[in-house]
Amino acid sequence: AQSVTQPDIHITVSEGASLELRCNYSYGATPYLFWYVQSPGQGLQLLLKYFSGDTLVQGIKGFEAEFKRSQSSFNLRKPSVHWSDAAEYFCAVENQGGKLIFGQGTELSVKP
Amino acid sequence: GAGVSQSPRYKVAKRGQDVALRCDPISGHVSLFWYQQALGQGPEFLTYFQNEAQLDKSGLPSDRFFAERPEGSVSTLKIQRTQQEDSAVYLCASSSRDWGTVSREQYFGPGTRLTVT
């Protein structure tokens, strides 16, 4: 069955420090992968997506993610975190029917 | 241009009441999805429309849940005889995705937070 695992429920990083959020997926075919961010009371905003091609994808707000087929991973990174990055982050894979299968999310806290 | 809008943003219902949640997708988007997000969880798929056709309703948790998109634009998710376990945020997303197109990005609305007391 298709699934997405985000092993870290909650991460705290200092402002200015680097960030890596982990995502592992289970999917039989070539996956279409996404990272979304959700601020309190808000909908989901797309940070970046991987469809094919270059395995390192750049997104908005300085985020990037790397697709590693051998590890079934699609980890999200940012070199320097800002206080405004505090939010919930969701990794998702799209199945053949078009629906998104989400992980449980990682809550990011940023300390000054 | 305008994004996906949902109304109401908040809804409190007494157990047993019926509720209707509305989604206005981005103009011209043929695909529309509904997701349910329980507290502290990721969104879970409920149902999918392509234009007015409901192509997948495998995620609807019970026959109390019903969705429609009669003119291929606005969609309504209806929950009959609400139960406490229905309390969640209901997210709507639209996409220009169609069979044969490349774009698969889904744009999400702000959600409707339903609380059943």
**How much of chain B exceeds pLDDT 70, in percent?**
93
pLDDT over 80 (residue B101) = no
pLDDT over 80 (residue A80) = yes
The residue among A20, A110, A38, A37 whose CA lies nearest residue A74 is A20
8 A C-beta contact, residue A21 and residue A105: no
What are the chain B neighbours of A36 within 8 Å (beta carbons)? 108
- Among B42, B56, B97, the residue with its CB nearest the CB of A102 is B42
**Which residue stretches of B15-94 are H helix?**
none
| Cα–Cα distance list, B23 to A80, B5, B7, B100, B112 (Å) | 37, 6, 7, 25, 9
| Type of residue found at A18 | S
Residues 25-54 of B with CB under 8 A from A: 31, 33, 35, 40-45, 48
Q: How confident is the model at residue A97 (pLDDT cuts 50, 70, 90)?
A: confident
Weakest-pLDDT range from A14-18, B84-88, B92-96, B99-103 = B99-103
pLDDT over 90 (residue B44) = yes
User: Do A44 and B4 count as a contact with CB atoms less than 8 A apart?
Assistant: no
φ/ψ (deg, to 5) at A9: -75, -40
Average pLDDT, chain A: 93
Q: What pLDDT, on the 0 to 100 scale, is given for residue B99?
A: 56
Q: How confident is the model at residue B102 (pLDDT cuts 50, 70, 90)?
A: low
Tell me the pLDDT tens digit for each residue of A25-79: 998 777 899 999 999 878 899 999 998 888 999 999 999 999 999 999 999 999 9
φ/ψ (deg, to 5) at B20: -130, 125
Best of B108, B112, B113, B115 to substitute, by most chain A Cβ atoms within 10 angstroms, is B108
**What is the average per-residue pLDDT within B67-90?**
97
